[in-house]
Amino acid sequence: MGPLVPEVIGNELNFVVALFVGIAFGFILEQAGFSTSKKLVGLFYGYDFTVLRVFFTAGVTAMIGVVALNHFGLIDISLVYVNPTFLWSALVGGLIMGLGFVVGGYCPGTSVCAAAIGKIDAMIFVGGSFLGVLVFAEGYPLFEGLYKAANWGSPRIFETLGMSQSLFAFLLTAIAVGAFWAVTLIENKVNGKPNPEFSSKKLYYGLTAIALVIGLAAFVMPDRKEAMLNQVKDKNYIANYPVKMITSDELAFRLIDDDKDLQLIDLRSPKEFDAMSLPKSNRFGLENIFEKDVHNILSIKHKRNIFLANDEAAAMKGAILAKELGYENVSVLKGGLDQFKTDILNFTMPSQTAGRSQADTFRFRTKAKELIPILIQQNKLTKNSGEQKKSKRVVGGC
Amino acid sequence: MNSTKYMNPYLAGFFLGLILLVTIYITGRGLGASGAVKSAVVATVETVAPVHTSNTKFYKEYGEEHTGNPLKNWLVFEVIGVVIGAFISGLISNRLKFTLEHSPKIKSKIRIFGALIGGALFGFGAQLGRGCTSGAALSGMAVLSFGGIITMLAIFGGAYAFAYFFRKLWL
């Protein structure tokens, strides 16, 4: 599951990745014509919309790709860097950058690219950007207020706008295609003649078809996480879903037996978990099941994953999500931790027993009642807190 | 020899999108450019005036967020790659040439002055806006970041708003 850094690809190797990504990035920017200011500013005067075409196509391609990777559970989006929103600095900083664009003719990435092929104006632009950063650094106390104002965290735009991810992805794709049509018309008008490269109707029918397919794909790939979380809210769905059960007695036996394949998944709150938790247990919430850290726990081979919560129904939700996500060996503690407490931890011998096997069970429970609390105590001493070590979101941005 | 034609913009955009997607899948972060300039500035000031960096707020905050040498930074390596990649592209397409490109209607001095001021404004704005066209706008769009898309709208909106006043530089 992505991102591959830092587990599959180490932090040092990541620098090598950066170098190769940069080579590909620089190559494409130059091939697209981003190494000349004439082409870049054409966007703002209507004679050349290359920048818009490249930029929008790239953005939509990558966006749909991220949506798809997320949909198929190939990337943990909660670990991916999402640029934070500081409303005012984004707006004011953006306007200043826009001014810099029309005055200087480049943006930082394209200036580096143009300087690499010998554009002297681009080299000067790069020099200028050093000065700009230096001014910001030296005058930081003056700008800090604006820089840190209106911190909204890292919201995704569809959340802020209150729509679904698929609808937004579709709208953005539609806007991009509309823009491609419109800018060609503007370009032809400004230049007084059609650009032969874009005069072909076929190209546009092709583009529109591709975009429609992409847009539709965005619709059939709704945010899987949300859809699945909604599904497990349905009581009928849960009741009819086949999940293996494990009884309190069997669990107690396996705990005492120190079964190495046993792995408990505790879905209660961190507070409850810290107050009392069984040995061999990991705690996380329903939402975390989609994340990479949990993926690493649940995908350990030969482990029997037993989901538990205070009641059986809550644990069922987690177990169903896990099964739907393709994890194997999933069971649920029958009757939940409440039943486990009644059966084992707070067991009181009834005055009457019906039959021999029940007498055996009661004898076992009496023994387990003494042994399990000791195990719980030992486990608590070795583990400081219920909060597992969590992978951190990647730090990125410019 | 004439330089070869530029790539079809939609094809180039598609490739660029794939590069960005692969980058996000592997590293969990997008592309960038202005961050490398920041690293270089911090490294330079640290070398030239170490006392100054240790008692100036900006460098102290930078030091808290980044450990080690500021040049040992993902974006620095990426931008070195950009230089190499663009050079290779220029080489195979016959576009390697030292030129000061400007509109025939303006003097080179004006172009130099414009590039310097424009670069400074962009560098400054990218610090304030936490990213430039690559780091905030393009990468932000890929992960549907609200902040990234707002920055993108402000950059292009700003450029259109100011374009009229600087038309003599280009047309």
Q: Are residues A64 and A174 in the same domain?
A: yes
pLDDT, position A386 = 46
Same domain for A116 and A8, yes or no, is yes
Percent of the residues in chain A that have a pLDDT greater than 90, as a whole number:
45
The number of domains in chain A is: 2
Q: What is the pLDDT of residues A146-173, one digit of tens each?
A: 999 999 989 999 989 988 888 888 889 8
- Does B49 reach chain A within 8 Å, measured CB to CB? no
Whether A228 maps to a domain, the answer reads: no
Q: Is A8 part of any domain?
A: yes
Residues A252 and A141 placed together within one structural domain of the fold = no
- Specify whether A212 is located in the same domain as A243: no
Does B38 contact chain A (CB < 8 Å)?
yes
Tens digits of residue pLDDT in A382-392: 765 444 556 77
Q: What is the mean pLDDT of residues A84-100?
A: 96
Average pLDDT, chain B: 93
Residue A8 to residue A224: CA distance in whole angstroms: 25
CA distance A220 to A215: 9
| pLDDT > 70? residue B11 | yes
Domain of A281 in residue numbering reads as 235-382
pLDDT at A184 over 90: no
pLDDT of residue B82: 97
Residues A10 and A129 in one domain: yes
On the question of pLDDT at A130 being above 90, the answer is yes
* Same domain, residue pair A209 and A244: no
Which chain A residue has its CA at the smallest distance from B131's CA? A398
Q: Is the pLDDT of residue A218 over 70?
A: no
Place of tokens 């949990």: A294
pTM, two decimal places: 0.84
Task: Report whether pLDDT(A294) > 50.
Answer: yes
Per-residue pLDDT, A393: 72
The shortest CB-CB distance from B125 to any of A28, A65, A96 is to A96
Q: Evaluate whether residue A229 is within a structural domain.
A: no
CB contact under 8 A, A137 and B118: no
Look at residue A174 and tell me if it is in a domain: yes
Peptide bond into A6 cis (omega under 30): yes
% of chain B surpassing 90 pLDDT: 81
Structural domain includes residue A242? yes
Whether residue B147 and residue A154 make contact (CB cut-off 8 A), yes or no, is yes
Contact B101 A118 (CB under 8 A): no
Chain B residue at shortest CA distance from A177 = B10
Max mean pLDDT among A108-112, A276-280, A347-351, B43-47 falls in A108-112
Q: Name the token pair of B152.
A: 């993108």
Residues contacting A263, CB < 8 A, separation 6+? A280, A282, A297, A300, A303, A304, A305, A306
Whichever domain contains A367, its CATH number is 3.40.250.10
Q: Which ipTM did the prediction report?
A: 0.96
The pLDDT of residue A398 = 57
User: Do residues A14 and A161 share a domain?
Assistant: yes
Mean pLDDT of A72-92: 92
In a domain, A397, yes or no: no
Instruction: Decide if pLDDT at A200 tops 70.
Output: no
3-state SS string for B31-80: CCCHHHHHHHHHHHHHHHCHHHHHCCHHHHHHHHHCCCCCCCCHHHHHHH
A108 and B125: CB-CB below 8 Å?
A: no
Whether A215 shows a pLDDT value over 60: the answer reads yes
Interface of B with A in 62-101 (CB under 8 A): 65, 72, 74-75, 77-90, 93, 95-101
Q: Choosing among A4, A8, A30, which should be mutated to test the B contact, i.e. which has the most B CBs within 10 A?
A: A30
User: Does A22 sit within 8 Å of B21, measured CB to CB?
Assistant: no
A90/B57 CB distance under 8 A:
no
Across A113-136, average pLDDT = 97
Candidates A79, A85, A91, A101, partner chain B, best to mutate (most B CBs within 10 A): A101
User: Is A66 inside any structural domain?
Assistant: yes
Using the Cα atoms of residue A9, residue A11, residue A12 and residue A18 in order, give the sign of their dihedral: positive
B94 CA: distance to closest CA in chain A (Å): 10
Shared domain for A354 and A209, answered yes or no, is no
Distance from CA of A221 to the nearest CA of B (A): 16
Please say if the pLDDT value at position A58 is more than 50: yes
In 3D, which of A164, A48, A77 has the Cα closest to residue A393? A77
Smallest CA–CA distance, residue B40 to chain A, in Å, is: 8
Please provide the average confidence, as pLDDT, over all residues in chain A. 88
Asked if pLDDT for residue B17 goes beyond 90, the answer is: yes
Spell out the domain ranges in chain B.
Answer: 1-98, 100-171
Q: Which of A295, A184, A220, A192 is CA-nearest to residue A64?
A: A220
Distance from CA of A15 to the nearest CA of B (A): 6
What are the pLDDT digits (tens) for B104-162?
999 999 999 999 999 999 999 999 999 999 999 999 999 999 999 999 999 999 999 99
A189 and A290 assigned to the same domain: no
Per CB-CB distance under 8 Å, the chain B contacts of A98 are: 125, 154-162
Instruction: For residue A27, report the phi and psi dihedrals to the nearest 5 degrees.
Output: -60, -50
